[in-house]
Chain A
Amino acid sequence: MSTIADRLIEDEGLRRGVSRLTPEKIEKVFKELIAGECGARLKTYVESCVRCGMCAKACHYYMSHKDPSYTPVAKVSQTMWRLLAAGGRVEPQVIYECAQVAYTECNLCRRCIHYCPLGIDTGYIISVVRRLCHKLGVTPQYIQDTAHSHSAVLNQMWVKDDEWPDTLQWQEEEAREEFPGLRIPLDVEGADFMYSVIAPEPKFRTQLIYQAAAIFNAAGLNWTMPATPGWDNSNMAMFTGDSEIMSRVERAHYETAQRLRVKRIVMGECGHAFRAVYDVANRWLGWKWHPVPVVHSVEFFWELIQQGRIKITHKYADPVTIHDPCNIIRGRGLMDKLREVTHFLCENVVEMSPNREHNYCCCAGGGVINCGPPFKNVRIVGNSIKAEQLRATGVHTLVAPCHNCHGGLEDIISKFGLGMHTKFLGDLIYELMEKPEAE
């Protein structure tokens, strides 16, 4: 049977990382990690897993390849069990293999939790493997670059401190052509909410900031965006296993909101960012819940619709289908609100199957897409099951309120010739809404 060793992909970051390792060094770091950061969860999971293989069908990689080495349990057996069995004393090449499995063959989507009777959290185990790889300095080059960026400028895309307000003002200027009274309020203390986005938005998807501003403007909201670092809610360090940088980024994010004394943080349509802010970094920082309430766009749009603040001129006529992003569905239970918003905006919604909490992953999340070109083909081919699922709906518009999902789904759509295009809820709202001031 084939294993990870039979499909290794050259990555400069991984190669350079393992070249610096020795079995002794690996053993030392591994033992420190297990003793220092792991506890009952890892021990219980590793010990009580009965190797029944029921989780196989949970994973889009397995469902696409039908190769037993891609099942959730196989990914754990090729990484954590192997390391534990050797007490961490393994050849550097093994770490290369562990890293490729952990960073590029698992999206941490947690679908397998719906398959394991014992409730084993494979995503957690794989995160521990990533943590080890990070500590050993064996991380894929592309995602490590984003983590470095987080470390240096507190955002993912090397956006300089002055480029950020510059970009916002540029978008404000553009939008004022359409909506003369529109503002993108910077650093307004005491605003109702701080809107935060991921760094790719100012970098190359400025249209999304424009749209958000237009929607908030039409709804007459009291909002703000920070003018300082701390504006980026994305967090690739969370996925490289760099918990220290992860928590620095989130701390800056929370503290920026606190500095602005906003009532809450509204996050753009991104899934992993929400996971970091809502579910992960707060724990590392010692917060059981968040120091500032955190709301995802899906829920926020839902509220605005409930309050009658979003008015649309007409409904989107073409049939659409909904992709449920793992981090806000399995991670936040927004499936009903996502549907209510979509049904509010669209005439005809065709559900894909399975959906809601049971939806297949886009295969881009969990940092996998961020590992860059070397692994691109694997993640696209590794999600033919998603392509089949999309094709079966027979529709041409796909609503996906998550950046990573967009990236992954667009790749699948073009590879498998599905003839679909993806939309954010913001895209739809902007397209359909009444634009009172518009000229």
Chain B
Amino acid sequence: MHALYDLAVGPLAWLAFGVFIIGSVYRLLAMRALALRKDGAFVAYVSWPHAFKSLAHWFTPFGALGWRENPGVTIATFIFHICLFLVPLFLMGHIVLFDTFRGWSWPALPDGAADVLAIVVVVICAYFLWRRLSVPEVRFVTSAQDVLVVSLVGLTFLTGVLAYHRIGDNLVLTTLHILSGEAMLVAIPFTRLSHMLFGVFSRGYIASEFGSVRHAKDW
């Protein structure tokens, strides 16, 4: 287990960051090249001012019709995504690893707050899974991959929470936590999680069409 832990915090961590960053950059550039090659008649209408205006609405809770009409999902989605970024990036335990081995340090969230936010992520993952399996219109379009990626995120945060509270064998849970987190990073460029990369561009494109051609709002 000790060896696996070493592997997870060492080579695998660099591998995961590498695949995530290089993979993401590659996917974005490849998609851009494809758009320029095949969607020229549509790329031509891209208008950043319209894109930013629309994105501002979509990044505001209840700032768009879809958010207003789905209040439960909206609240869950916003809290989920905010925590999803905030907790890993500003968690004491993560910063300490960088501080110890790289000498990089930045301000951390108070442990108690990070703990609550991480638990919130786990609860929302459970809510998303429940929706997948019980809400008919979601279930109708759910595939194995959808369940898998939500579970992966949930597992990462759940093992993190358990390790923090020292429930179960700490080495086993911490190792599992690191490995599932790494799997999540690697999955981002190559699964549904790629909406993290493409989401602003697909929204920005349609916002451009609506704004500059159709003169109508798209939120």
Contacts and interface: CB of A to CB of B under 8 A. Distances in A.
B186 to A, nearest CB: 16
Contacts of A354: 65
B40 to A, nearest CB: 9
Contacts of A118: 195, 198-199, 202-203
Given A40-B39, A117-B64, A332-B216, A68 B137 contact: yes
Nearest to A77: B141
List the 9 closest A-B pairs by CB distance, nearest first.
Answer: A39-B38, A333-B215, A115-B66, A119-B203, A40-B35, A53-B138, A119-B206, A48-B195, A68-B140
A114 B70 CA distance: 12
A117 B216 contact: no
Contacts of B216: 329-333, 335, 357
Nearest to A85: B143
Interface string B27-44: 000011011011101101
Contacts of A47: 192, 194, 198
B90 to A, nearest CB: 25
B194 A48 contact: yes
Contacts of B34: 39-40, 43
Nearest to B55: A119
A10 B24 CA distance: 47
Interface in B183-219: 192, 194-195, 197-199, 201-207, 210, 213-219
Interface size class, chain A: 35 or more
A410 B77 CA distance: 40
Nearest to A115: B66
Contacts of B52: none
A288 B45 CA distance: 8
B53 interface: no
B64 A1 contact: no
A114 B141 contact: no
Interface string B123-162: 0000000011001111111110010000000000000000
A332 B215 CA distance: 5
Given A57-B69, A115-B70, A284-B41, 14 more contacts: A41-B42, A47-B194, A48-B192, A50-B195, A51-B142, A51-B146, A113-B210, A113-B218, A117-B77, A118-B199, A118-B202, A331-B216, A333-B215, A358-B65
A52 B149 CA distance: 13
29 contacts: A1-B139, A40-B32, A40-B34, A40-B38, A41-B205, A47-B192, A47-B194, A50-B195, A51-B143, A53-B131, A53-B138, A53-B140, A68-B139, A71-B140, A117-B67, A117-B203, A118-B199, A118-B203, A119-B206, A119-B207, A120-B202, A120-B206, A279-B213, A279-B214, A288-B44, A333-B214, A333-B215, A335-B216, A354-B65
Interface in A234-281: 279
A414 interface: no
Given A41-B39, A53-B131, A53-B138, A117 B66 contact: yes
Interface string A15-43: 00000000000000000000001111101
Contacts of B140: 1, 53, 68-69, 71, 74, 77
Interface string B9-41: 000000000000000000000011011011101
A198 B131 CA distance: 46
A285 to B, nearest CB: 10
A314 interface: no
Name the prevailing secondary structure of the A interface residues: helix
A423 to B, nearest CB: 23
Interface residues of B, number: 54
Contacts of B146: 50-51
B192 A43 contact: no
B127 to A, nearest CB: 12
Contact of B141 (A73, A115, A332, A357): A73
A47 B131 CA distance: 20
A268 B200 CA distance: 37
Nearest to B42: A41
B53 to A, nearest CB: 13
A51 B141 contact: yes
Nearest to A324: B216
Interface of A: 1, 37-41, 43-45, 47-58, 62, 68-69, 71, 73-74, 77, 113-121, 279, 283-284, 286, 288, 329-333, 335, 354, 357-358
Contacts of A56: 137
A51 B45 CA distance: 27
Contact of A58 (B66, B194, B217): B66
Contacts of B142: 51
A52 to B, nearest CB: 6
A118 B193 CA distance: 12
A55 B192 contact: no
Contacts of B67: 117
A74 B137 contact: yes
Nearest to B204: A119
B108 interface: no
Nearest to A37: B38
B192 A71 contact: no
B119 interface: no
Contacts of A58: 65-66, 69
Contacts of A43: 31, 34
Contact of B202 (A48, A55, A335): A48
A41 to B, nearest CB: 6
B79 interface: no
Nearest to B41: A283
Nearest to A116: B66
Contacts of B54: 119
Nearest to B146: A51
Contacts of B92: none
Contacts of A335: 216
Contacts of A55: 66
Contacts of B5: none
A48 B138 contact: no
Contacts of A116: 66
A324 to B, nearest CB: 10
